[in-house]
Amino acid sequence: MFRTIRSYVTSGRGIAATFALILALGLGLSVTAAASDDPDQQSLKPTVVFVHGGWADSSSWNQEITNLERRGFSVIAPANPLRDLASDSAYIRSVLQTISGPIVLVGHSYGGAVITDAAVGVPNVKALVYIAAFAPDKGESLVQLVTMNPGSQIGPPTLDFRPYPLADGGTGTDLYIKKSAFHDAFAGDLPLKVTDQMQATQRPFANAAFVAPSGEPAWKTIPSWYMVATEDHAIPPATERFMAQRAHATTVEVESSHVAMISQPEATTRLILDAADSIR
């Protein structure tokens, strides 16, 4: 057998084939070496994970997703169940645990409370970004924070309460923002025709999530960034500033309603990029 191989290699046809193989391997090694010297290959971009808040869905982040994907970032915006803070956080944590490499975790409104709990115990979450979001401390609920300062237009007079069946046979209560209140309370800097559609398609937000106490906060150990929406009528801006300062977050302010990621997508993208740049 070895004589046959030797005869093939020493023949003209064998020499040509062997030379071609060596050349191909050499080129492959050269390409690999060149790729390894590329700074973009050496420092992979983090994955950005978006978590929406109550009365919303992942489409809230459409423009930010477009902006980041154009810059080469991997992005995922999983659906936030909006059922209960503990189970919602556990679900988002399970998504995070499927991602390799560093993560920038971004939350809006109630999504901020979810990322605060979900990031605990996930070591590759390297930055938290709060967009007009709740950043609770241990034991705090959304209802405590939203009533800390005057200015919120979210409350019993502006909400519809709808019962729904629980898996254990009990009954839960979903909260919906009334059409008469939605524009001013939630998205006052968007056109009325847009907010009417948002109101009609709003995801139900369980009262259980609104009143549940938060766990140990991830912002105590993970660097944070915070966007204060100065015209927010859902979470008072004073409360947003308080939560940002308490978390020692890098903070920016924008003249925006509660949905800053929709009305101020470029500013929101810049803040996320700042967080991403800090871990590259």
Planar angle of CA 182, 187, 193, nearest 5 degrees: 75
Q: What is the CATH number of domain 43-277?
A: 3.40.50.1820
How many angstroms separate the CA atoms of 192 and 25, rounded?
A: 63
Distances (CA, A) of 202 to 44, 58, 174, 198: 36, 11, 11, 6
Q: Return the closest-CA partner of residue 58 out of 114, 107, 115.
A: 107
Task: Note the pLDDT of residue 162.
Answer: 98
Work out the average pLDDT over 223-231.
98
How many angstroms separate the CA atoms of 152 and 155, rounded?
A: 8
Task: Note the pLDDT of residue 13.
Answer: 43
Task: Note the pLDDT of residue 26.
Answer: 37
pLDDT tens-digit map of 147-166: 999 999 999 999 999 999 99
Work out the average pLDDT over 23-27.
35
Task: Note the pLDDT of residue 242.
Answer: 98
Residue 30 has pLDDT above 80, yes or no: no
Range of 2-11, 17-26, 29-38, 173-182 with top mean pLDDT: 173-182
Work out the average pLDDT over 16-29.
35
Q: What is the CA radius of gyration of the chain?
A: 25
Residue 277 has pLDDT above 60, yes or no: yes
43 pLDDT band, cuts 50/70/90, is low
Of the listed ranges 14-23, 200-209, 240-249, 263-272, the one predicted with least confidence: 14-23
Question: Residues 109, 110, 114, 117: is their CA dihedral positive or negative?
Answer: positive
Residue 18 has pLDDT above 70, yes or no: no
pLDDT tens-digit map of 88-130: 999 999 999 999 999 999 999 999 999 999 999 999 999 999 9
Residue 32 has pLDDT above 70, yes or no: no
Question: Residues 229, 109, 45, 263: is their CA dihedral positive or negative?
Answer: negative
pLDDT tens-digit map of 199-222: 999 999 999 999 999 999 999 999
pLDDT, averaged across the chain: 88
Residue 4 has pLDDT above 60, yes or no: no
